[in-house]
Chains A and B, each alone.
Chain A
Amino acid sequence: MDRLALDVAHLLAGGLVLVSFMLLYQDRMTGLVNNFALHALVVSLSVAWQAHIQHAPHLYITAAIALIVKAIVIPLALHRIIVQLGIHRTIETVVGIGQTMLAGIGLVALSIMVMLPITAKAGTLTQQDLAFALSVLLLGLLMMISRRNAVSQVIGFMSIENGLILAATGAKGMPLVVEISVAFSILIALIVIGVFLFRIRERFDTVDIHALHQYRGEQL
């Protein structure tokens, strides 16, 4: 049982890293949002599995929030936004996909090299979970800086948050209230960013943040 629990937890955490790579690779808007829904689904499964093996029923609530909000509500909202903005075409990347993937692999290696020695005293489960969580986090950051489109930056931001949830549930004893407040702050961030996206589009007829540059007043 113990062995199986560990293996499944690894499978799910590793799966999350894999989906993060898929996010990096995906260059169509609709696909990206679907991928993000998958990302959230894997996180909620992983959290639920942690709840099961840690016998921590409050984690089921976290899993449910992740499932409902991030795997269903937010992707649906993003789909609506994309359709309304009319940008369900390809998205540009700054660096080529290949280089981005290579950088991502480097980041995963880095986070494993950092995390494994530091957490040597913790249990195997926590140790590997933290390494995977840091990878997801760095990949999300990489996505945020390698994309131009505001919508994909939002998705990168939320994938970072998924990495944080993974780290938080891997460590035992995280209070429920922290997770709930994090989840709600993400939801609110989405609403705010969504409103902003529309405002930006109304003003400048695009959501490509490069276009905003020339409007900055204080530029020398």
Chain B
Amino acid sequence: MLPGFPDAAPLQGLIGGLLIGLAAALMLLGAGRIAGVSGILARGAGIAEGSMARTSAWGFIVGLPLGALAIRLATDWEPAVFAGWPLLIAAGLLVGFGTRMGSGCTSGHGVCGVSRLSQRSIVATATFMAAGIATVFIMSLIGA
């Protein structure tokens, strides 16, 4: 419990964050690469060129949902609430286009790049957070 924020889950957030950090550290020190999900996904799908073997990209892409499934089976987990299909598709297009254009997402820029103190990643992370905050604010104004 976090005083003032009854809905927050700081402990789960921190534990999950440490696991994500370990995952990214394993990719860096084990394979010598950035654990950036958008880039690995594009590589696996054959959309992006790159030096990462497509077999390795697929290993990550398959491992990720399996890890999610392991937690799902081991804990009492409530189904999440999602936006409707039209919004999911519009958002998916923007996320796909934007992460390729901006060379990364929350994992590559937000975790790997920020921790490396990369100027590009710090600017990208500040930008997508500000854009996300503005979007949620505007949607709440128009009642979407």
| A-B interaction | no
The interface of chain B, by Cβ under 8 A from chain A, is: none
The interface of chain A, by Cβ under 8 A from chain B, is: none
